[in-house]
Amino acid sequence: MKRSIALFIILTLLICAVGCAPLPEPADTFVAAMDTEMTLRLYGDTDGSAAKYLTAELFRLDAVFSPTEESSTLYSLNRFKTIRDADILSLLQTADEISARTNGALDVTLLPLSRLWGFIGASYYLPTADEIAETSRRTGTDKYEVVDDSVRLKGDAELDFGALAKGYAADVCRAYLEGLDMPALLTLGGNVQSVGDKPGGEPWMIGIQDPRQPEACIMTLALRGTNAVVTSGDYQRCFDLDGVRYCHIIDPATGSPVQNDLCSVTIVADSGVLADGLSTALFVMGPDAAFEHWRQSDDFEAVFVLKDGTVYVTEGLKGAVRNCNFEVVSR
Ligand code: AMP
Ligand code: MG
């Protein structure tokens, strides 16, 4: 009898110790890297060592992928036309896969066109058709090759991982945090990455920017567990001329900023780099081809905001949407 009472007390204490354990506290760290502002919200990083490690990783990746910083690895590739670098090789291989599945909508060779249109350095310019044709000769996924793990550029080609690098960085951070079993919500500019379940049992609430009122949210997504949520839009870096909006995402087929019915595309996927690459590629493809690509895939969900204000949400995400009217894209 005494033994069973003792056992009961021990069990009660154990359950209470687990059940009543204080929730890990969130702590925010701000990082300015990759041309954007980032917030790392880590739960339970009591000595700040995880934030310190991730900050260093983000600066390291910035120093690899910056297309404009003269000391970066990518700058060196674009200048000297060859490099052997594990991060660049890995991201280029992922870019190739996403480019293949989206009929070339994602193309990491468009830097000369981005420069021509003035999106590098925000000195916007409306080029002539001849200038676009001339510059387009330097672009295309046939303008690079991988030989013995080295990336080589042909002629005067240049690479730009602006469509993918933040997603790649989010994956690097996620892998580290998963190793520590540390929940987190990372905001790397327009890329949000949740890691693990939010302590306390509530879902992560992730706002999607309203493309026509970027300081407000068009909806909130209530998501559990680990997800990458990445938005590409026509409002992020753009200029308006004679009633036409020119945005920083270039259609490789025309050499000009994308013109279609979309204002923004948000992708939800397990992988940050996939979500980032697809958000850019599906924005290029336009709504109909993008819906079709979702129907043929099983590795992402999406939210589309059209210029006429309609919001489309793919079937798998409809239960997660808060505070927004929308149409459902079905299989
Ligand atoms: P994101 O904001 O992720 O959609 O990426 C847009 C950035 O990717 C641009 O600022 C360019 O640096 C680059 N970019 C523009 N158009 C494309 C494209 N069609 N494919 C790949 N990268 C692109
Ligand atoms: Mg992207």
Instruction: Specify the pLDDT at position 10.
Output: 57
Nearest CA to ligand 1 atom 1: 163
DSSP strand pairing (213-223 vs 250-251): unpaired
- Which DSSP symbol is given to 25? P
Specify the pTM. 0.94
**114-165 pLDDT tens trace:** 999 999 988 999 999 999 999 999 999 999 999 999 999 999 999 999 999 9
Output the CA 308–ligand 2 centroid distance in Å.
Answer: 23
Nearest CA to ligand 1 atom 10: 248
Which phi and psi angles does 186 have, rounded to 5°?
A: -105, 130
Dihedral angle sign, alpha carbons of residues 195, 199, 204, 205? negative
* Residue spans of the chain under pLDDT 70: 1-20
Nearest CA to ligand 1 atom 5: 163
Residue with tokens 């870096």: 237
**194-235 pLDDT tens trace:** 999 999 999 999 999 999 998 999 999 999 999 999 999 999
Beta-carbon neighbour count of residue 150 at 10 Å?
Answer: 14
For residues 331 and 296, what is the distance between their CA atoms, to the nearest angstrom? Answer: 9
Tokens linked to 309: 């204000």
Do the Cβ atoms of 139 and 104 come closer than 8 Å?
Answer: no
Tokens linked to 161: 């991982």
Nearest CA to ligand 1 atom 6: 163
For residues 59 and 52, what is the distance between their CA atoms, to the nearest angstrom? Answer: 11
Instruction: Specify the pLDDT at position 5.
Output: 59
Instruction: Specify the pLDDT at position 202.
Output: 98
Beta-carbon neighbour count of residue 37 at 10 Å?
Answer: 12
- The binding-site residues of ligand 1, defined as CB within 6 angstroms of any ligand atom, are 106-108, 110, 114, 160, 162-163, 232, 236, 248-250, 252, 276, 279-280, 284
Instruction: Specify the pLDDT at position 3.
Output: 60
Residue with tokens 């949520």: 229
- Which DSSP symbol is given to 316? G
Encoded amino acid at 177, one letter: L
**230 by DSSP, 3-state: which?**
strand
Instruction: Specify the pLDDT at position 122.
Output: 85
